[in-house]
Structure 1
Amino acid sequence: MITKKQLAVTLDKLPEQFSIEDLIDRLILLDKIERAERESEVGNTITETELDQELEKWFK
């Protein structure tokens, strides 16, 4: 979940004029980073070897 403070910081980093799509893209990225950090904190990660195996499946 994004806080008001994170939203304010994100808005401050945008240029004076921006599209709604630009804002949405940044908010989606911020949300994905937050989720990944939470997943990492609880140990819900995979090893590099497991990642390589998954990637091999994708590109077959």
Structure 2
Amino acid sequence: MLTKEKVINAISQLPGEFSVDQAIDELILLEKIDRGLAQSEANDVIPDEELDKELPEWLR
């Protein structure tokens, strides 16, 4: 879950002028990274061997 501190930090790194779309894209990326890190820490990941098998099907 995002924290106010992380959101403020992300917004403060945007240029002086930015669109709402840029801010939303930045926050979505931040949330996805945060979720991925949490999944990794919880060992909720796909093993490399399984990924190698499933990836060709996902890319069809």
Give the TM-score normalised by the residue count of structure 1. 0.87
The CA RMSD over aligned residues, in Å, is 1.2
Q: Which runs of 5+ in 1 are unaligned?
A: none
Matches within 5 A, 1:39-50: 39-50=39-50
Instruction: Show the counterpart of 1:38.
Output: 38
Aligned residues: 60
AA paired with 1:33? I
Q: Which runs of 5+ in 2 are unaligned?
A: none
Q: Measure, in 2, the Cα distance between the counterparts of 1:3 and 1:53.
A: 36
Q: Does 1:6 align with 2:9?
A: no
AA paired with 2:56? E
